[in-house]
Amino acid sequence: MGLVVQKYGGSSVADAEGIKRVAKRIVDAKKNGHQVVVVVSAMGDTTDELIDLAEQVSPIPAGREFDMLLTAGERISMALLAMAIKNLGHEAQSFTGSQAGVITDSVHNKARIIDVTPGRIRTALDEGNIAIVAGFQGVSQDKKDITTLGRGGSDTTAVALAAALDAEVCEIYTDVDGVFTADPRVVKKARKIDWISFEDMLELASSGSKVLLHRCVEYARRYNIPIHVRSSFSGLQGTWVSNEPRGDRKVEQAIISGVAHDTSEAKITVVGVPDKPGEAAAIFRTIADAEINIDMVVQNVSAASTGLTDISFTLPKTEGRKAIDALEKQKGAIGFESLRYDDQIGKISLVGAGMKTNPGVTASFFEALSDAGVNIELISTSEIRISVVTRADDVNEAVRAVHTAFGLDSESAEAVVYGGTGR
């Protein structure tokens, strides 16, 4: 039996009962002969409470001190978890991100892991301990300051440790049973996915699926660490994310992995842009200089009569204000007529490696949307994904229609047929 890394989120360790339940599960893995490294998040609402305190003393908390504050959350949960395990008669030691050798850059509140040097974890394991590691945190390489990894950082900690320790698997325990073919809150008939490739998981994550973050999956793919996403409340198998289905499991890659949706984006349309070389570049240089990540981009066909065109792009709603301000400042230099801002949009994405060899998929996708009466505003595609932007109000209906059309419904008999027929 090899080494496993297990990660437990805040909802799994929300109170003393949760911590004791998780401790038992960890001890079971140890009893099964595994070396066990556990990455743990802060308990339940701890992080929110700390953020609230910070806002009470300072409207814009400083990055370094904010990280120092937030990392107290994992310190509490990991120490309690180690105590609970020892109370079950097994040896456990907890380690901060710094002690576990999680080395990051110096960008406070969203640091990136540069290196992992888990010498103390190795020693603890060799001495028969279960090692408990604080998720979400590290120490900066240059200044030796405490840093945090940003949203979903604990998953990244787990995968990075799994890679550094050459683990057999990184188990991500959460409050759902795994990755689903669509958000079960929207699609009642959504099915749990048994296995999904890194590539499809990356597309789902960047299209709005919340279960795993893009950064964590990217890290796992780079170091080829299988991820097993599963519930901490049951013993069921969850979803395996890896390069290939595991040898002992008969899982065929589905043509379509799932349908993701995202209503966190807004659309900006730059109206009346002179249709000449360099105009688009000037617009997106302005956006990039403001450190804003954009998602989809569409340029309309120029109207021959005016020589003007429109350029639309989508971006997180949270960045909307900043983008508008940056563009307005450059209005004269870029030379556009006006800006339109629309935050009532939604994005629906169909993801599956099977698309590459099934040319009918795109057509079936648009037919399903059309049959559901959903109007399409923007389209963007990759090799294994099609995304469309619609009105926000249409998103749920669109997701359900597409999920049914592609035979993803759990008890559905009416899968569409697609293949080399061009349909």
- Binding positions for ATP are 7-10, 174-175, 185, 210-211
- Interface with a second copy, residue 65, by CB under 8 A: yes
- Interface with a second copy, residue 83, by CB under 8 A: yes
Distances (CA, A) of 407 to 180, 195, 362, 410: 14, 17, 15, 8
Q: Which is nearer to a second copy, 93 or 404 (CB)?
A: 93
Q: Which is nearer to a second copy, 46 or 390 (CB)?
A: 46
**Which residues from 100-129 bind a second copy, rule CB under 8 A?**
120
Host H or E run for residue 340: strand 338-342
Count Cβ atoms below 10 Å from residue 143 Cβ, excluding itself: 10
- Interface with a second copy, residue 99, by CB under 8 A: yes
Q: Which is nearer to a second copy, 113 or 139 (CB)?
A: 139
Q: Which is nearer to a second copy, 80 or 179 (CB)?
A: 80
Measured from the CB of residue 164, what is the shortest distance to a second copy in angstroms? 19
* Of 96, 118, 185, 111, nearest in space to 147 by CA: 111
- Interface with a second copy, residue 69, by CB under 8 A: yes
What strands lie across the sheet with 258-262, from one edge to the other? 258-262, 345-351, 385-391, 378-382
Q: Which is nearer to a second copy, 20 or 322 (CB)?
A: 20
> Do 236 and 25 touch, CB atoms closer than 8 A?
no
Residues of the binding site: 7-10, 47, 74, 174-175, 185, 210-211
Q: What does the DSSP assignment read for 128-140?
A: TPEEEEETTEEEE
Question: What's the burial of 274, exposed, middle or buried (CB within 10 Å: 0-12/13-18/19+)?
Answer: middle
CA-CA distance, 172 to 145, in Å (whole number)? 27
- Interface with a second copy, residue 14, by CB under 8 A: no
- Interface with a second copy, residue 66, by CB under 8 A: yes
The residue range among 65-73, 237-245, 300-308, 311-319 that interacts with a second copy, by the rule CB under 8 A, is 65-73
* Tokens of residue 383, six digits: 């090799």
Which of 29, 51, 79, 376 forms a contact with a second copy (CB under 8 A)? 79
* Tokens of residue 218, six digits: 């990217």
Q: Which residues contact 209 (CB under 8 A, 6 or more apart)?
A: 179, 183, 258, 260
Helix (H, G, I), strand (E, B) or coil at 328: helix
The residue range among 82-90, 306-314, 397-405, 411-419 that interacts with a second copy, by the rule CB under 8 A, is 82-90
Q: Which is nearer to a second copy, 35 or 71 (CB)?
A: 71
- Interface with a second copy, residue 286, by CB under 8 A: no
- Interface with a second copy, residue 277, by CB under 8 A: no
Counting Cα atoms < 13 Å in the Cβ hemisphere of 179 gives 30
Would you tell me which residues interact with a second copy (CB under 8 A)?
A: 16, 19-20, 23, 50, 53-54, 56-59, 61-62, 64-66, 68-69, 71-73, 75-76, 78-84, 86-87, 92-94, 99, 120, 144
